[in-house]
Amino acid sequence: MHLQRRLICCAIASAMATGAAPAFADQTNELKPVQILGDRQDTFSISGSAYVLSNEDLEEKENTDVHRILRDVPGVYFQEEEGYGLRPNIGIRGSGRDRSSKVSLMEDGVLIAPAPYAAPAAYYFPSAGRFYGVEVLKGPDTLRYGPFTVGGAINFLSTPIPARASGMVNVEGGEDGSQRAHAYYGATEGQFGFMLEAHQQRTLGFKDIDRSNRDSGFDKRDYVAKLRWQAPETAAIQQALELKLEHSSEVSDETYLGLTDRDFERDANRRYGMSDIDQMDNDRDAVSLRHTLVFAENTRLNSVVYRNEFNRNWYKLASIDGQGIGGYVSDANTNGGVKQAVLRGSADASDLVFKNNNREYISEGIQTELSHQFQVGSVQNDLIVGARYHQDEVDRYQPTDTFDQTNGSLVYQTSTLPTGGDNRLENADAMSAWIIDHAYVGDFIVTGSLRYENVESKSKRWGDPARNTVSSRTENRNEELMAGLGATWLLNDNWSLLAGVHQGFAPAGASSQKGTEAEKSVNYETGFRYWQENFSADVIAFYSDYENTIQNCSIANPCPNGNDSGTQSFGESEVRGLEVGLNSVAWEGDNGLRVPVRLAYTYTDGEITRDADDLSVLDGDVLPYLPEHLASLTFGLEKAAAWSALMSVSHTDGMCIDNSCDRTGQSTTFKRTSDYVIADVVATYHVNSDMEVYAKVDNVFDDQEIVSRDPAGARPNKPRTGYVGMKVRF
């Protein structure tokens, strides 16, 4: 069948990660966008759950919050924190959402977490407003993109170098002093190409700080430069090089301190005055050099060398009178009284400790991948063999300042230099290797996957600020060989069935005690896909059986045993669910009008199935921040190249915030988030082929609920906020 043959060819190209954007020349040695999936049509024949958001999908909504972007993808969960998605909490199929620490996050195929192995919490995240595309992959093919294979991988695409001189400028303004500017320009001339890009975004924020004239917003800036060289077509060795340079910075007046429920009900956008001086300040520099070497028409070697440096200092309130702010807010919720008054600033308090959460990260490595197509009899094979050597580290030197609260004002008392957990170095060395084979046997595509991970981690703490005396050392090793098998049956031009099983792995963090095992799981999925020009559907059931569930402990997300560093292992768990994704043109008129509809729905049920050794987690406990139902519906009316009007409505079930939420006899009053529904609208008018204007309103019905209780108190989603913008291409 013609369509089947075309889809198989697409799948082969996609598996080689050489999918090309239309603006690129068709040269065999050219470095093309580093896609892990390809176009949405290509996912029809992938032997696992896969979803693609194209550049057109992103541009039609102009979202700058990655949580809002990922609502369109089934099987992906998120926990909002500050309303803007600065430090996203993303999970896949129950893998956990703690700072996205169990998802393989990549940009152009390179891991972007500050220290993916030693400290995988994603305190850095690129500005979502500059994304060119988003790819989400689950299933057996995930073994190609570790280290975290329990859930899946997400690859964010940056703006590619165009084949001809061209550029874009997008300016946007909105409520709360919001401003955004995004611009790029690039060209290809002969053997050389380049692209320069800038994305700047700022806002005064939507929260009001008690007794303060400071804002609660942020200023974030991203700069990207790319330079490419490719050998002439007449060269004996066909190859290409691309250098990518990145710099980003952020200053955000954000805090870990939330609200008590009493105060949330009165004013969800309030912030306590004692958080007035809290501020995150960070910057990141990254460089990567990518090389493509073409041995033959069906064989190529893709390699990349990368180094990322990330420095951050989140100066924020950590404790009050010797008690962590999470426990302090919890006590104020339960009892009110003096602690509630202290939070409001109407009662004095002593010993308010503000910590310089100062950390310096380095992440570097080299990865290479050989792709080779060959045929054995009538069976076409696409073989991928790859390896990566990676090193990362996080250096914490975190002094503290002590204040008193007197008559509602902060009065400085003293400073303390760091020792112990606030003065430590963590690092990890990791060696990975993988083999993936896609075999095309008639109407079947069979995928076999193997991945090997060897992770050695160490940490060292000093007993004195000058780092002359080591107070403790830890080291750990996780080694695992994982396998996966998947199959897709192309029934006809429109229908395909899929099934797959693979072993999942998530290494323990660098402060883990010796013998702490990695998280391990066996993941199953099965379902079907339907594809035609104006309608596509994915319906996939999944089941994950976790042999060992771990949590990387942090101040933002303490472990059930109370630790805020290291890793806790707490037994076995199971996660099961259903993902549904629909894309359709519900109606199309002769005059070019059309009604697009997109639906993403996820049902999930997860629970602990075995007691932890220390009994901090029990059989039957729920998994935190895992909604049972998650849905997003986008619909509207549009006329191609003229105008469009879209509405997106998303629903998120209330979630338990810890494992003990549903235990018999437990009160859930302060242990659950709220159900909430958010509606966003956006309208775009094309002035001409090169210019468009748009207006959008986030949370059009201004519904604010408790979307999170971590860290340290109730937190709202962003209120109704309007924006207008203009985009010009040239």
Q: E strand or H helix at 56, and its extent?
A: helix 55-61
> What local confidence, expressed as pLDDT, does residue 23 receive?
34
Q: Which among 127, 116, 196 is positioned nearest to 156, based on CA atoms? A: 127
Greatest distance between any 2 Cα atoms in the chain = 84
Can you give the pLDDT at residue 684? 97
141/521 Cα distance (integer angstroms): 15
The pLDDT score that the predictor gives to residue 649 is 97
- Residue 5 has a pLDDT of 39
Contact 24, 163 (CB under 8 A): yes
pLDDT of residue 297: 84
pLDDT of the residue at 667: 78
Q: What angle do CA 27, 32, 36 make, to 5 degrees?
A: 135
Give this prediction's pTM.
0.91
Instruction: State how far the Cα of 83 lies from the Cα of 531, in Å rounded to an integer.
Output: 35
- Asked if 502 and 523 count as a contact pair (C-beta separation under 8 A), the reply is yes
What local confidence, expressed as pLDDT, does residue 4 receive?
40
pLDDT recorded at residue 579: 96
Which CATH entry fits the domain spanning 40-727: 2.40.170.20, 3.30.910.10, 2.60.40.420, 3.90.1300.10? 2.40.170.20
Q: Taking the chain (730 residues) in consecutive chunks of 10 residues, what is each chunk's mean pLDDT?
A: 38 36 38 58 69 92 94 92 91 81 91 91 89 93 91 93 96 97 97 97 97 95 97 91 97 96 96 96 97 92 97 96 94 94 96 96 96 93 96 96 96 96 95 95 93 95 96 94 94 92 90 84 94 91 86 66 65 91 92 94 92 80 91 95 96 91 82 95 96 98 95 95 97
pLDDT value, residue 564: 64
Tokens of 625: 């921040």
Chain centroid offset of residue 554 CA: 18
